[in-house]
Amino acid sequence: MTRQTGKKSSPRKSGAKKAAPRKAAPAQSKQTKTGKRKIPALRRGGVSREPRRWPRIVRGFVSLIIWGLVLGAGVIGWFAWDMPNPSTVLAQDNRQPAVTIVASDGASLMKVGDLYGLRVSLSDLPPYMPQALLATEDRRFYYHPGVDPIGVIRAIVSNLRAGGVREGGSTLTQQLAKNLFLSRERTLRRKVQEALLAFWLEARYGKDKILEIYLNRIYLGAGAYGVDAAARRYFGKPAAALSLWQSAVLAGLPKAPSALNPFRAPEQSARRAREVLNDMVSAGFITQATADGAKQSRVETVATDASGAQTRWLAEWAFDRAADILGGVDRDILVETTLEPDLQRAAEAAATTIGPLAREKGAGELAFVAMRPDGAVSALLGGANRQKSAFNRAVHGKRQPGSVFKLFVYLAAFEGGLTPDSPIDDRIAPIEGWTPRNAGVGHRGVVSLREGVARSINTVAVAAMETVGRGKVVDMARRLGITAPLSPDPSLALGVYEVSPMEIAGAYATLAGRGYAATPYVVRRIRDAADGSVIYERGTSQGARILSPQIVAMADDVFSASVAWGTSKAAALPDRPAAGKTGTTQDYKDAWFAGYVPQLAAVIWMGNDNGRASDGVYGGLYPAQMWRAFMMQAMQGQPIQPLN
């Protein structure tokens, strides 16, 4: 029997059983040098892998932030890529020069271009001007970064309650951004750009500076940009002198500058100003008693505005003349015209009374010019209705003058030696194959030149012209301001060549001025709007004498006879002497009256632009009646002066 030993048997022997595998001993913690136990990592499925999730979460979160920033930057870039450079826009001054046209008494007639006043700082203004603006436009202006979330939420709630848009959420900074840099379109893109620009403004400028820019750039209606321009436009004073009520009026305008314009809508403007004062009380800027006192002070009226539609003809003509005088307009200017509002109103009243009568008989248009003896145009109508036609017939219209042209014939005749008593045979022989005819009367035989004028006998005028020479008549017309082409033919005496009412007015005003040239003018003075300095002024010296006192006296004689007992008697004035001449062209296409008293001359034309004949409208009818109606009102209270 083999003795067993403690040695291990060889695995080569067949049939030997394999030793069962040992079970793993429980993991033991090893002692470290520091005395702390080191815990070995467990194998698969153990809890030691859990802490590795946090780095992945952090990395994912960081990636999300980065991609969000990239996406946000892309969106902002898409919104901002076509945004204007605000620094460039603020530095630019690309507005049109402002031209203000005023009447002789300073009343505003028209504004052209953009009106800017003096640049003002907050310290230049009464405190209630910026307070009124903040109270009604942005009470939290000093507490938000350019966009006011609280204001937006408040506006949304208010609009939901009202069932419509009644309140906006834009801050004053956003309004400035919108008005200076952006278009008026209402899109999400524009709204985002507005917010971006508002943030830029807030970062670039302080609150006070933003408020100053707003006060100097905001449009406040009537062509006025900024509070100083608006103060001068509406109240005739600088912004520094504004009252509380006037400040409230201006602060209420940004909401609707055209609809709340104090000139066009005084009641709506006043209602809005009262709302602004109430807002100032709510904001704590003023007391209720102060607000009530300001409301009572509404007796402060805005500067007179005479810019009715009918004055536009003269105002536009004055603008053109000012540009010609200066060789162009390169700065803000104030153009003082010769228009006299009282006389303009008299002209409009006469046209309103008589004009419809002429239109009923087929004379649809008219032109009117009133002129002082020195050539100053004191009233003008370029047509029957400025809103229907802007064409200025008084200045640019050219029509046959008919017998009003005989003025030049008889003045030349007097210089040629004839007198009012000179006998003229009205039975004239044909001249160069042409035979003149008399309207309404046959031949009277030998008559005085005076009677020939008073009764507007055509053959007498032609005979007088043939006596002194046609060239003398052309020369006389040129001396008195007629620039139209004139040919020295036999029909010249009867007014067949077209002229303008303005030129005829200048000629008759020369007689009113006792023979001194009356060159028509409408611009009396031009000032630099910035400092009031005069850059042009028409001289006050009298025009050159072109007619002797003797010639003027003879003209007074014959043309006053026309008014006293001749074809012009419908123009006779009850309280003073007057002189004038009617004119009627063939088939009643044109009807004229031109007349004067020593202080004033006036000319009326009636007819149609297309030359259509009227139904019997002649110079001694409605034109003479309109002249009389105008003169009676215009000369009321004026001294009576003899003609000769």
Q: Exposure pattern of 356-368 as b/e (b: 16+ CB <10 Å)? A: eebbebbbbbbbb
Q: Exposure pattern of 521-542 as b/e (b: 16+ CB <10 Å)? A: bbbbbbbebeeeeeeeebeeee
Q: Which two tokens stand for residue 376?
A: 């100053």
Q: How far apart are CA 57 and CA 80, in angstroms?
A: 34
SS3 261: coil
Q: How many CB atoms lie within 10 A of CB 298?
A: 15
Is 137 an active-site residue?
yes
Q: Among the options 108, 137, 269, 568, which is catalytic?
A: 137
Q: Taken in order 368, 372, 377, 378, is the CA torsion positive or negative? A: negative
Q: Are 523 and 322 in contact (CB under 8 A)?
A: yes
Which of these, 545, 551, 564, 570, lies nearest to 620 by C-alpha position? 570
Residues 6+ apart with CB under 8 A from 238: 117, 118, 228, 231, 232
SS3 76: helix
Place of tokens 């400092």: 531
Q: Are 470 and 489 in contact (CB under 8 A)?
A: yes
Q: How far apart are CA 563 and CA 542, in angstroms?
A: 28
Q: Among the options 104, 403, 456, 500, which is catalytic?
A: 403
416: amino acid identity, one letter: G
SS3 597: strand
With both helix axes pointing from N to C terminus, report the angle between 288-296 and 266-282 in degrees, rounded to the nearest 10. Answer: 170
Q: How far apart are CA 268 and CA 414, in angstroms?
A: 63
CA distances 363 to 32, 366, 611, Å, are 123, 8, 10
Is 336 an active-site residue?
no
If you write DSSP's letter for every residue of 208-238 in order, what string do you get?
A: HHHHHHHHHH-B-STTEESHHHHHHHHHSS-
What is the distance, to the nearest Å, from the Cα of residue 440 to the centroid of all Cα atoms in its chain? Answer: 50
Residues that are catalytic: 137, 403
